[in-house]
Amino acid sequence: MDNGTGIGARVKRKEDHRFLTGKGNYTDDINLPRQTYAYFVRSPHAHATIKKIDTSTARTMPGVVGVFTGEDVAATKLGGLICGWMIHSKDGSPMKAGPHPILALGKVRYVGDHVAVVIAETREQAKAAAAAVDVEYGVLPHVVDVAEAMGHKAQVHDVAPDNRVYNWSIGDEAATDAAFKRAAHVTRIDLVNNRLIPNAMEPRAAIGYYDTGAEHYTLYTTSQNPHVARLVISAFHGLAPEHKLRVVAPDVGGGFGSKIFIYAEEVVCVWASKFVGGRPVKWTAERTESFLADAHGRDHVTHAEMATDASGKIIGFKVHTKAAMGAYLSTFSSCVPTYLYATLLSGQYNIPNIYAEVDALYTNTAPVDAYRGAGRPEATYVVERIVETAARELKMDPAEFRRKNFVTQFPHQTPVIMCYDAGDYAATLDKALEIADVKGFAARKAASAARGNFRGLGYSAYIEACGIAPSAAVGSLGAGVGLWESAEVRVNPVGTVEILTGSHSHGQGHETTFAQLVSDRLGIDINNVSIVHGDTDKVQFGMGTYGSRSGAVGMTAVAKALDKIEAKAKRIAAAVMESSPDDVEFRNGAFTVKGTDKKMAFGEVALSAYVAHKFNSAQIEPGLKESAFHDPSNFVFPAGVHIAEIEIDGDTGVTTVVNYTAVDDFGNVINPMIVEGQVHGGITQGIGQALAEGAVYDKESGQLLTGSYMDYQMPRAADVPSYKLGFTCTPCPSNPLGMKGCGEAGAIASPAAVMNAVTDALGVVDVPMPATPHVVWKQMRHLKKAAE
């Protein structure tokens, strides 16, 4: 489209004006008449029985309108939190899911576990009364380290005596063992993927409201998928049937996965409203609550081995991972270290034999679930760290070792389920080598050395599977839901358009990119298109936004609905222009009749559809509104090469990312400006993981030591450089727009690139993440001593 707002244009965002002028509408900005405030009593212990809860003092405190415990919840038969993906162990047994009540019943299992709620007239009154709830605990042994969890004397759930949720495997073990027997070389590595806390800048919040007149519930919540929340709260918690529960996720201030899940606090707010006389109940997390009780990410301990033949071809890959689940199975936790992880262990490489085994383990910590990338960063970290290590051991150039093993023929069936549909990995590598000026690296390294510093270069040739996901395929793997998306296109009589989508935008800019698609397709001004999302009363159903799915799945649903709009509009135009629908063409916003000068603008056809004077409404229904559901036929496979160049201060151990290059293949791109922004943000989260961030639980006490921004180091502006980006394009064959996902790629690729650079600089196999100045300084001192 030539007006600069169509597919591929760098359109400035339609949503920005309200965000920039303070008119965003986030959950905590909403206040309802007669609103009350909730404050949660949380466990101070990592693991304890609850002997007694005395709420009598709290109930008499000023402003208190209600105090509720797990027994009150149980008395109303409200169900517990669920995990929506069934994983079976390799022996065929189902995963061991312990109970997860929305307020603790009899036991607490991590510091921050939700024990009771106090509801009062003001937040301060609720907080003061919460401090007066007297809970008598019987402290039990605890385990917080996933490496120690298996068979630990602290048993988190009765159903899992050894703390193991499942022992799952993928791939052919015998064939992989045989490959190792004929290997010329075997590379071994032990890696820890550090636990992260997502930290969307908007803390979670909820307002629950029970309308006693209509006997109807409303929940405003910070969700990436309000329809999934409604489904779970209706079907599994049993609060109310779906037509009696509206869930609204208004503007949401970042998610990164952490706002996919259905959490206790939001369920409590909407449940409790009924028991405080139908007054709205509002809760907003303090940041420390976010640290304690948002689902965390990563936390893997992995041993991996890679077999190569004499020519440097990878012939086998074996992985064993212990994955922390935390104290309870969060909504999608079980699929993260299995189908979102081990299915990507082939990387960009042609590896004929892969076998992986995963032990998922309970620990007395916050639950672990999807965080930006969800399994795929962990897979990329294992693949790209061991590939780099293998290249070094084989004395091969790491880039050329990768190139030698790249998949070059498509489609490519890996030994771990995925079938890669399109890509050109050598092209992304070549472009990255050029942009990063790898040829000039030796000179830059020498210059650093002259200053007493260490310089390193690290690659990460990642691939990921997103556009989640084909429903039948994920269903066969244990998913409890289908992962299609819906769209509805409503054309108004004046020719403006509303798009209702089940996707949800919490930073991704859907109000702009979805409108670009419509503007391009219908040839109408982008300002005549508005996007509606995030409200179950407006959008009939949807699966929400995560797994980089809103473009490939959500926009494809819109495109399908637009096909139907065009088809019906052609019939109307044909009737009005007294011609055959087969002769009507639609281009640049106008309907024309072949071989004539007859012409109608899109808006004229829209008006005709509603006026309905000029066609036989027995044959054509009035109105112009269509909907579609799109179920993808495959995942999409973005891939790219990222190159990090770092410098370590020889005196202090401070690591600086001096250059960072990212070349990505996202297929066709709707808005390059927005795509670049997604990549920037993802890279920064990955640099954060590599150099700064790490959730630390104290082994002795089980307390979270990193419970605020003073203890958990978020990347700040001065911690990262400006990035050099490049793109290649192999259009995705499985959706009509040719798009792949771009939301997670940066976070998937970057930790391995940075740590390959750090280990390159120091000449060591591994440095644990986060490679803080102290960690690196200790490593340097160790190396210095060894040299002496």
12 binds other proteins (CB under 8 A): yes
710 binds other proteins (CB under 8 A): yes
Task: Report whether 221 contacts 536 (CB < 8 A).
Answer: no
Please provide residue 40's backbone torsions phi and psi, each rounded to the nearest 5 degrees: -95, 135
Evaluate the omega torsion of the peptide bond into residue 770 and state whether it is cis, within 30 degrees of 0.
yes
Residue 103 beta carbon to other proteins: minimum distance, rounded to whole angstroms: 23
630 binds other proteins (CB under 8 A): no
Which amino acid makes up residue 180? F
Contact region with other proteins (CB under 8 A), list: 11-19, 164-172, 534-542, 751-759: 11-19
Return the structure tokens found at 725: 């980006």
One residue of 280, 375, 415, 509 binding other proteins per CB under 8 A = 509
Residue 632 beta carbon to other proteins: minimum distance, rounded to whole angstroms: 25
Question: Residue 135: in which H helix or E strand, if any?
Answer: strand 134-139
Place of tokens 């819906």: 486
CA–CA gap between residue 136 and residue 141 (Å, rounded): 16
Contact region with other proteins (CB under 8 A), list: 103-111, 185-193, 473-481, 706-714: 706-714
275 binds other proteins (CB under 8 A): no
One residue of 8, 44, 254, 650 binding other proteins per CB under 8 A = 254
Can you tell me whether residue 235 is helix, strand or coil? helix
**Helices 376-393 and 398-405, packing angle to 10 deg:** 110
Residue 372 beta carbon to other proteins: minimum distance, rounded to whole angstroms: 10
One residue of 48, 116, 252, 517 binding other proteins per CB under 8 A = 252
Return the structure tokens found at 730: 């192999």
Q: Mask of contacts with other proteins, 155-194, x by CB under 8 A? A: ----------------------------------------
Nearest to 251 by CA among 469, 534, 10, 2: 534
| CB of 288 or CB of 627, closer to other proteins | 288
CA–CA gap between residue 587 and residue 570 (Å, rounded): 11
Place of tokens 């088809």: 567
- DSSP output for 665-722: E-BS-S-HHHHHHHHHHHHHHHHHHHHT----B-TTT--BS--STTTS----GGGS--
54 binds other proteins (CB under 8 A): no
681 binds other proteins (CB under 8 A): yes
Contact region with other proteins (CB under 8 A), list: 473-481, 493-501, 676-684, 753-761: 676-684
28 binds other proteins (CB under 8 A): yes
| CB of 166 or CB of 371, closer to other proteins | 371
Task: Report whether 479 contacts 335 (CB < 8 A).
Answer: yes
| CB of 15 or CB of 145, closer to other proteins | 15
Sheet of 590-593, strands arranged across: 584-587, 590-593, 599-601
684 binds other proteins (CB under 8 A): yes
**Helices 398-405 and 425-435, packing angle to 10 deg:** 160
Task: Report whether 73 contacts 101 (CB < 8 A).
Answer: yes
Residue 715 beta carbon to other proteins: minimum distance, rounded to whole angstroms: 8
Query: CB-based burial of residue 425 (10 Å sphere; 0-12 exposed, 13-18 middle, 19+ buried)?
Result: buried
Residue 554 beta carbon to other proteins: minimum distance, rounded to whole angstroms: 17
One residue of 506, 560, 570, 740 binding other proteins per CB under 8 A = 506
Contact region with other proteins (CB under 8 A), list: 158-166, 394-402, 476-484, 674-682: 674-682
380 binds other proteins (CB under 8 A): no
Residue 291 beta carbon to other proteins: minimum distance, rounded to whole angstroms: 10
| CB of 7 or CB of 605, closer to other proteins | 7
* Interacting residues of 434 by C-beta distance below 8 A, sequence separation 6+: none
In angstroms, how far is the first alpha carbon of the chain from the final one?
A: 67
How many residues at the interface with other proteins, by CB under 8 A? Answer: 58
Footprint (CB under 8 A) of other proteins, residues 119-158: 124
* Interacting residues of 692 by C-beta distance below 8 A, sequence separation 6+: 713, 714, 715, 719, 770, 772
547 binds other proteins (CB under 8 A): no
253 binds other proteins (CB under 8 A): yes
632 binds other proteins (CB under 8 A): no
* Interacting residues of 243 by C-beta distance below 8 A, sequence separation 6+: none
714 binds other proteins (CB under 8 A): yes
203 binds other proteins (CB under 8 A): yes
One residue of 343, 428, 486, 508 binding other proteins per CB under 8 A = 508
- DSSP output for 264-307: HHHHHHHHHGGGGTT--EEEE--HHHHHHHS-BB--EEEEEEEE
One residue of 82, 623, 680, 766 binding other proteins per CB under 8 A = 680
| CB of 710 or CB of 787, closer to other proteins | 710
* Interacting residues of 532 by C-beta distance below 8 A, sequence separation 6+: 498, 499, 500, 501, 538, 539
Question: Residue 520: in which H helix or E strand, if any?
Answer: helix 510-522
* Interacting residues of 654 by C-beta distance below 8 A, sequence separation 6+: 648, 773, 776
CA dihedral 237, 242, 246, 250 (to 10 degrees): 80
33 binds other proteins (CB under 8 A): no
One residue of 129, 156, 245, 251 binding other proteins per CB under 8 A = 251
| CB of 25 or CB of 617, closer to other proteins | 25
Residue 654 beta carbon to other proteins: minimum distance, rounded to whole angstroms: 15
| CB of 99 or CB of 672, closer to other proteins | 672
716 binds other proteins (CB under 8 A): yes
| CB of 312 or CB of 677, closer to other proteins | 677
One residue of 1, 3, 8, 19 binding other proteins per CB under 8 A = 19
One residue of 189, 394, 396, 673 binding other proteins per CB under 8 A = 673
Contacting positions for other proteins (CB under 8 A): 12-13, 15-26, 28-29, 31, 124, 199-203, 251-254, 256, 284, 286-288, 506-509, 673-674, 676-677, 680-685, 708-710, 714-718, 720, 722-723, 746
